[in-house]
Structure 1
Amino acid sequence: MTSDIRSTTQPPVMTDPNVPDWVNLSLPETWADRLCFRSVAGLLKFARLVLGKPQKVQVDSSDPLFADIPKYALQEFHNLPNGNYSSQISRGYITGFDVSMLGQIQAARRAMAQRVAHCNAVLDIGTGGGKLAAQVRAAGPRDVWGIDVSPYLLKHAAADHPGVSYLQAPAEAMPFASGRFDGIVACFLFHELPPKYAAQALAECHRVLRPGGQLLIAEPSENQLQRVRLRSLLRRSGWRHLYFKTLARFVHEPFVMAWHKTDKPALFARSGFTLLEHTDEIPVNFYALRKD
């Protein structure tokens, strides 16, 4: 008999939390903001940092903006100097991520947004630069929220995509009332969580969704790690496989292999979800779930 990991301890929240004025909020400068890209020496230093061993992120833990960020998130994911904790590097990541994914992520966002177009209230967890949340709002829902742990990403998201309510919060501890949303979307988030927190995040998704609500998850395809056959390179899909396999080996993703090894259907079932659809195409592994 499997254990049920649905959340039962989160205290009820009766009203929505206040949304900060991210656009006008002044964020502290970190050392990564002082990196200079206008000189050869600066570019070489940046290259050494990107190619070097990932380090722990440096932030002022006494600042309320950083006091409650989970420790697992305070590292240099994706080989980014100081991770997503600088205005300069987080801006570059928002732009560079879509470029590096060859347009595949934008296509996934559009497809996910259309699936929740009929919903009234939708939450984007791990919203990053807010692109998925913006796609959702453009599809029809008026009550759209996005959460992320990085205040720098949230500030960019609010400036680039107004009309969405952005909050700083981890997916495993959402500051919303139970049953608050009709739909939840998550794009390339769960593979960045340790297994314990991925399970907690799913439990929170179950809690804040209304009965029958949708949870849509897009994650990196584990198939891109498989060996590329020489004859497959003659096809466009073969070259794409080789590209994303190389990219996956380069970027620092400390928890991605644990996610790939997880029995996702079993995890979803334990969390109280029914798996409605699953497609796995390089580079995106997609799941459509319904709250039981």
Structure 2
Amino acid sequence: MTTEHSIDPVTPDWANLSLASTWADEINFTRPRGWLQFARSILGKPQPVQLAPDDPLRAGIPKYALQEFHNLPNGNYSHRISRGYITGFDRMMLGHMARQRRVMAQQLADCDAVLDVGTGGGKLAAALVDAGVKDVWGVDVSPYMLKHAATDFPAVNFYQAAAERLPFCEQRFDAVTVCFLFHEMPPKYIAKALAEIDRVLRPGGRLLVAEPSARQLGPIPWRLLMRRAGWRHVYFKRMAARVHEPFIKAWHGLDKQALFAQAGFCLDEHNDRVPINYYSLKKHSLPATAVVG
């Protein structure tokens, strides 16, 4: 007998899946030369990601994602550097991401099935499980990130997939979460991803989106500098100006509410504060306008 979930993709055995080491894994941090190599990568011009051309998992990675986002050596494609990024990102965000994940998970605690798109290290997917969601999936383009996520959070189903090519049937999920992903995608792929999210969501399903706030790039009023929040603003402004985010200006330039409305979503809640711009949306019962491009 065919069940609703029988056509879900088969998740890899991440624990036993062998991923090739990349050049970033060969950096020798026990020698000064290794640290110099690391510093040159962090401070220098970002380079294209290097992966073995015959790596079967490469086919699941869109071309726009093969970049050294955040100035990471070889981007999100290494065993060691990607593990360090998962740990270090929360610290660099001064606890804001952990709080945001808890908020999003609690808002979806009554859902049965939730998909986390761009799951990275899987922390938001794990928060959903902790909130009581029984059926949680996380997808990402980096198999290295997914292997770490599956090791840390075995209760979640992790699968390699791009946001614009979700491997699930129509109306599969009650809700979808997207956390710090859209600003790393070219606009035409964001539109395609939203069309895919609309497809896999049930009527009335929820879409929660957290992305960097454009406010952190703007001028800081002097009166704000006298407050604690002002110094946090300075910190995030400097960090945002330093990290390599090739598509973030395009993301900030989009009319977000028009983008979401065209994809078939209505806005329930919007909270834009440094460093996070947060949207809580609901899928319309009527079909979304077809996305072109």
> Normalising TM by the smaller chain, what interval?
over 0.9
2:116 aligned with 1:120, yes or no? no
Aligned to 2:155, the other structure's residue is in SS state coil
Aligned to 1:286, the other structure's residue is in SS state strand
- Identity over aligned residues, as a percent? 63
Q: Give how far 1:14 is off.
A: 7.0
* 8 Å contact kept, 1:61–1:67: no
TM-score (norm 1): 0.94
Aligned equivalent of 1:260: 252
Gaps spanning 5+ residues in structure 1: where?
Answer: 1-12
Aligned to 1:201, the other structure's residue is in SS state helix
* 8 Å contact kept, 1:272–1:291: yes
Aligned equivalent of 1:157: 149
User: How far apart, in 1, do the equivalents of 2:94 and 2:64 lie?
Assistant: 28
2:35 aligned with 1:43, yes or no? yes
Find the partner of 2:193 among 191, 201, 207: 201
Q: Give how far 1:291 is off.
A: 0.5
Find the partner of 1:129 among 121, 124, 133: 121
2:84 aligned with 1:92, yes or no? yes
Amino acid in structure 2 at the alignment position of 1:270: Q
2:204 aligned with 1:212, yes or no? yes
Aligned equivalent of 1:76: 68
Amino acid in structure 1 at the alignment position of 2:139: I
TM-score (norm 2): 0.94
Q: Give how far 1:36 is off.
A: 1.5
Which gives a bigger RCO, structure 1 or 2 (Cα 8 Å, sep 6+)?
1
Moved over 3 A (4+): none
User: How far apart, in 1, do the equivalents of 2:58 and 2:102 lie?
Assistant: 32
Aligned equivalent of 2:136: 144
Alignment of 1:26-65 (within 5 A): 26-65=18-57
Gaps spanning 5+ residues in structure 2: where?
Answer: 285-293
CA deviations 1:178-228 (Å, max 9, x no partner) are 000001011101100100000111111100000000000000000000112
Aligned equivalent of 1:183: 175
* 8 Å contact kept, 2:60–2:160: no
* 8 Å contact kept, 1:14–1:177: no
* 8 Å contact kept, 2:211–2:276: yes
User: How far apart, in 1, do the equivalents of 2:258 and 2:222 lie?
Assistant: 35
Aligned to 2:7, the other structure's residue is in SS state coil
Q: CA RMSD, aligned part only?
A: 1.3
User: How far apart, in 2, do the equivalents of 1:279 and 1:23 lie?
Assistant: 38
Q: Count residues with an aligned counterpart.
A: 281
